[in-house]
Chains A and B, each alone.
Chain A
Amino acid sequence: MENVSVKFLPLFVLGLALVVSLSVGMISRRQARSGYGVQFQSIGHASIGAAIASNWMSAASFLGIAGVFFVKGYFAFAYVLGWTGGYVLLLVLMGSQLRRFGKYTASDFVEARYESSLARVFSAIIAILITLIYCVAQYKGIGLIFGWIFGIDYTQSLVLGVVITIGYLVVAGAMGATRNQQMHYLVLIVSFVVPLAFISNKLGYGMSLPQFTYGRALLDLPPDTARDYLFPWTFGTAYEWIALSFTLMVGTAGLPHVLSRFYTVPNNRDARWGVVWGLFFIGLLYWSAPAFGAFAKVWQVRSGMELDAQSAYQLADLVVVKIAEWTGIPEILLSIIAVGGILAAMSTITGLLITGAGAFAYDIYYRLINPKATEQHLLQVAKAATLVLAGVILLVALNPPGLIAQITAIAFALAGNTLFPVFLLGIWWDRANKQGALAGMLIGTLITFSPLLFGNLIPGLRTILPPTSSALIGAPVVILSIIIVSLMTPPPPEALRRFLVEKVHSP
């Protein structure tokens, strides 16, 4: 035990952040009840945008992109492009129409549009799988930072982090605290951007706009290293780059928790304009993330730190915290960046676990196992499902299969190969029917998992279908399958097609 060295200031800041978060959550709830909430919600499009960004920002954005940049340089921009461009697809192809359709969850939409309980169950299973994969990446982030704070190994810190997260979820649930999305965004972005300015200053590149000046830092690297980091295809081919960014885009447009953001806004026009602000707020993070990776690389070269590829990978997901520690910025800033990473991961985990457990209780248990279950019984099932899900994720996260951003990308591939085509054709093609949707979701799931399951057996499979990037081929194949199967089977009823024309596609 004598080797364990706890960092007390980050621990104190974390405790403070959780207490403040709970208190603000209580106040937000009380204001919403007394009517002040309505006034607060109508602050405007910027406020909606902040909520979109807050809902979006996870450990993948906060820790992951900088990590990929640290090991793969320019290649990391595929993540930046993918995780912003997806909102363009969502806004342009589906946002307004999904809202006019009037269903609140992915499963609700699938059942209503395709008139099939089986399709609903299938989409719920997919939503739960997405939750599982997405949360594994968040758990890894929590495990790494808790390990850093407490000076303990990854397995211990992961268990500790998960216990604290679930504990927080239970307490917040018992107190009925809701998350104030705008404040959450503000806390995350400040804890990311302010320390970055200090890091830049410590390295001699000034405090102003490190998001743009880090390019100079990269040019100060030895010519060979600079070439590797700045040249486009050092760490991956053009196909891999395009496939990854496309996969992340269609995945964004198909992620259930991103789609449901569209419904919590008072009207359609506000939701659309909220996306513009949301992109700007997400952009603030993505303009900054590569700078962390770049500064960490510069520090590594300057300090003569020797890192082989494997050590660099092990370090990558903690590089945002490590570069703050290496450069010796004030400890309070070091603490808030570490706590920011934990909060980003924790909020994503709690949100996704609740959604995943809800999908199990209401879409699978109620539909398939016990249709006579009461509301109270379903609530208990959901609570039990939360714990089971949390446990399953913990087991997978003990041996994380990749970098945080890479694990998250697999969840995006699944959403892009299954839910995105089903939503897209459900909205834009009246002839798409339940047989087509079922076939599409089945084929999409197979495409997503085939490189993971059969990658070692079939040569070249992972080259054509990289696990993180399978939707460039997968999504069009699934769209085509839905079209073919739908044309071979009877069309949807006239009432549904009329609803599409008169409600979903009318101004």
Chain B
Amino acid sequence: MDPTSQTEKADKNDDLRVNFFRPRPGFMRKEVMIIWGTLIAWAFVTFGLPIHIAWQHSDPQLTLEEVPKIFGIPFYYLFEGQFVIVWFILICFVFNVLIDWLTTSYRSRR
């Protein structure tokens, strides 16, 4: 018998643990892994990029000409102002595809 499914069975009966940082093996653990992946992509634009921009533009002598640009507009401006919405839509899309796949695979097992 597959040792993973044995653990899952044992857990189902005895362990009532729900903990985001120590998820139960099986469905919850895989779901939490997908959530972590999505949260990392979310944190990239929420914290990562603003901190990077702050660090890059901290010099008060810096002029607009010296900033990396696309179509004549600063890159960070296009990204944090416009593309970020596309980014959020994309990560929600990928999250949904993965959760659909996970749910289907676990439902068919039951």
Contact surface of A with B, Cβ cutoff 8 Å:
74, 77, 80-81, 84-85, 87-89, 91-93, 96, 211-212, 215-216, 218-219, 223, 226-227, 230-233, 238, 241-242, 245-246, 249, 269, 272-273, 275-276, 279-280, 282-283, 286-287, 290, 427-431, 494, 497-498, 500-501, 504-507
Contacts and interface: CB of A to CB of B under 8 A. Distances in A.
Q: Which 10 A-B pairs have the closest CB atoms?
A: A238-B54, A215-B73, A283-B85, A430-B18, A507-B106, A497-B16, A428-B20, A507-B103, A77-B81, A276-B92
Contact of A77 (B20, B24, B72, B80): B80
B18 A280 contact: no
Nearest to A491: B16
A238 B77 contact: no
Contacts of B35: 92-93
A279 B88 contact: yes
B69 to A, nearest CB: 10
B19 A429 contact: yes
Nearest to B76: A232
A80 to B, nearest CB: 7
B40 to A, nearest CB: 11
A91 B54 contact: no
A461 B73 CA distance: 36
A180 B63 CA distance: 50
Main secondary structure of the interface of A (DSSP, over half): helix
Contacts of B93: 276
Interface string B80-99: 11101110110111011001
B81 A272 contact: no
A219 B72 contact: yes
Nearest to B38: A92
B51 A238 contact: yes
A494 B14 CA distance: 11
Contact of B46 (A233, A246, A506): A246
Contacts of A507: 27, 102-103, 106-107, 110
Given A88-B91, A215-B77, A498-B16, A227 B63 contact: yes
A66 to B, nearest CB: 13
A92 to B, nearest CB: 5
Given A81-B45, A275-B92, A507-B102, A92 B57 contact: no
A279 B91 CA distance: 11
Interface in B35-65: 35, 38-39, 42, 45-47, 50-51, 53-54, 57, 63-64
A74 to B, nearest CB: 7
Contacts, number: 143
B16 A500 contact: yes
A233 B64 CA distance: 13
Contacts of B99: 96, 272
A223 B64 contact: yes
A77 B53 CA distance: 13
Contacts of B46: 81, 85, 242, 245-246, 249
A431 B54 CA distance: 39
Contact of A276 (B16, B63, B84, B89): B89
21 contacts: A74-B80, A81-B46, A85-B46, A88-B88, A92-B38, A211-B82, A215-B77, A231-B64, A233-B57, A238-B50, A238-B54, A276-B96, A280-B89, A283-B85, A283-B86, A430-B16, A430-B17, A501-B12, A501-B24, A505-B28, A505-B31
B82 A212 contact: yes
A216 B18 CA distance: 51
Given A74-B81, A93-B35, A430-B18, A227 B64 contact: yes
A68 to B, nearest CB: 13
B36 to A, nearest CB: 9
Contacts of A246: 46-47
Interface residues of B, number: 52
A242 B103 contact: no
A93 B110 CA distance: 24
B53 A283 contact: no
Contacts of B64: 223, 226-227, 230-231
A324 to B, nearest CB: 22
B88 A87 contact: yes
B92 A279 contact: yes
Given A87-B88, A223-B64, A279-B89, 17 more contacts: A81-B46, A87-B92, A92-B38, A92-B95, A233-B57, A242-B46, A246-B46, A272-B99, A276-B92, A276-B96, A286-B85, A428-B18, A429-B18, A430-B16, A430-B17, A497-B18, A507-B106
A484 to B, nearest CB: 16
Nearest to B85: A283
B27 to A, nearest CB: 5
A242 B47 contact: yes
A258 to B, nearest CB: 15
Given A92-B39, A232-B54, A507-B27, A84 B72 contact: no
B74 interface: yes
Nearest to B24: A501
B33 interface: no
Nearest to A268: B103
Contacts of A226: 64
Contacts of B107: 507
A491 to B, nearest CB: 10
B54 A290 contact: no
Given A88-B91, A238-B51, A80 B81 contact: yes
A417 B106 CA distance: 35
A221 to B, nearest CB: 10
Contact of B100 (A80, A232, A269, A286): A269
